[in-house]
Chains A and B, each alone.
Chain A
Amino acid sequence: MPEAAVDLHRLIWSPDDFDGDTLTTSAFPKNDLMGGERYLSVSRTDILNADAELRTASGQGASGSANVVRDEAMSVILNSGDVCAAKDDKGVQPFDVTAEPKPNENEAHCGIRNSTETQSRGYVNQLRAILVGLASQPQKLDDFLSIRHFELISNDFLALSSTVTIMAPQ
């Protein structure tokens, strides 16, 4: 399970999952929230592979979805700790986040699972409502990846600069 501080990237590649600019609950498929072996696919951002996300976005288009345009793929972020700490109306924490790495494809792949025994229609509606409430403001996948790339470079620079001692000339 990813640490609580880890953010999870949910790729929303279908523009139909947005009503205007607003994320709809249909972005979180009911079948993926029924528990058992099913889960909602996400990627942990701390080891996220940009190429894997782009491949996924493009691959969905090739899998029979006529209207998928990679440029329209969107990103939302859910914090792993927030997801696991969320409670349903009975005070139960319904979600687990599990690592589901795909070797040589997407090591960052994780799943948000309905860890309860409850699979009723109304309960799944509740889970979707919780997830929409936890999701960040959507942004374009390309923008998300660009910003993340910049942050990684900045972090590398900061890490490097903290280890370098500039010697004053004698």
Chain B
Amino acid sequence: MNEVNRSSSVSDFAWISVAAFVASVTASPASANVDHRRQFEKAPEISPWADVASTSTDEFVPIGGPLSYESWYFEVSDRMVALSEKQDGWKGPESQSVLALAFEQANHLLRKLAVDGIDRRPTVGLDYEGTFSFAWSDGNLSIDLTVYDDGTYSYFATDGVRSATADDALISERLSPQLLGLLLS
């Protein structure tokens, strides 16, 4: 019974998130009946990222500029929703389904990455504990980042020369300059 309730809450949350996002996009007078991804490019002045940007960085993404992060954001978000539907035991006896808070926090960090101009798509994995892990591997760049349901994340990042690591960085705070520098390199 617990498994059902837990799964439902994640699923519900996912749908609510999607609905809220669509609502924020379609609030534009010019956006009715238009694919939201295209509309996002055409009407960035009411960008749904605005609330995130105001809390995560002083410099907003160039409005009207090339929003190259769009495609990976939606791909990654879709995959997270799909993984959120896993039940307890999805990967053996110790594996847990995704907690609603873990989904929320991971989605928050994901938006923050997009707003900060990261144009590299991470791969998304689901850990036994029901937490999401994002990874980037491209040439010498190698990053593994795990988001926890308590609003923190841990990571290790390196490009073979520089490296950055943290055990419990706060999602509510800015990305560390070191991590951001590696992701933007």
Most buried by B among A16, A23, A120: A16
A10 CB-CB contact with B under 8 Å: no
Q: Is the CB of B125 within 8 A of A65?
A: no
Q: Is the CB of A128 within 8 A of B93?
A: no
Q: Residues of B contacting A101 with CB < 8 Å?
A: none
A27 CB-CB contact with B under 8 Å: yes
Q: Is the CB of B125 within 8 A of A27?
A: yes
Q: Residues of B contacting A30 with CB < 8 Å?
A: 127-129, 146
Digitize B109-153: 1 where CB-to-A-CB distance is under 8 Å, 0 elsewhere: 000000000000001111111000101010000111110000000
Q: Is the CB of A25 within 8 A of B135?
A: yes
For window 34-69 of chain A, which residues contact chain B by CB distance below 8 Å?
Answer: 60, 63-67
- Interface band, chain B: 35 or more
Q: Is the CB of B92 within 8 A of A133?
A: no
Which residue of chain A has its CB nearest to the CB of B158? A89
Q: Is the CB of A66 within 8 A of B87?
A: yes
For window 144-185 of chain B, which residues contact chain A by CB distance below 8 Å?
Answer: 144-146, 154-156, 158, 163, 165-168
Q: Is the CB of B154 within 8 A of A121?
A: yes
For window 46-96 of chain A, which residues contact chain B by CB distance below 8 Å?
Answer: 60, 63-67, 89
Q: Is the CB of A89 within 8 A of B163?
A: yes
Q: How far is the CA of A126 from the CA of B129 in the complex (A)?
A: 18
Most buried by B among A17, A31, A125, A133: A125
* 15 further contact pairs, Cβ within 8 A, besides A122-B154, A122-B167: A16-B125, A19-B79, A22-B123, A25-B123, A29-B128, A64-B93, A65-B90, A67-B86, A89-B156, A89-B158, A120-B154, A125-B146, A125-B156, A126-B144, A126-B165
Q: Give A contacts to B, CB under 8 Å.
A: 14, 16-17, 19-20, 22-27, 29-31, 60, 63-67, 89, 120-126, 128-130, 132-133
30 A-B pairs with C-beta separation under 8 A: A14-B90, A16-B90, A19-B125, A22-B123, A24-B124, A24-B125, A25-B125, A25-B133, A25-B135, A26-B133, A30-B127, A30-B128, A30-B129, A63-B93, A64-B92, A65-B90, A65-B95, A66-B89, A66-B90, A120-B167, A121-B168, A122-B165, A123-B165, A125-B144, A125-B145, A125-B156, A128-B144, A129-B142, A132-B135, A133-B142
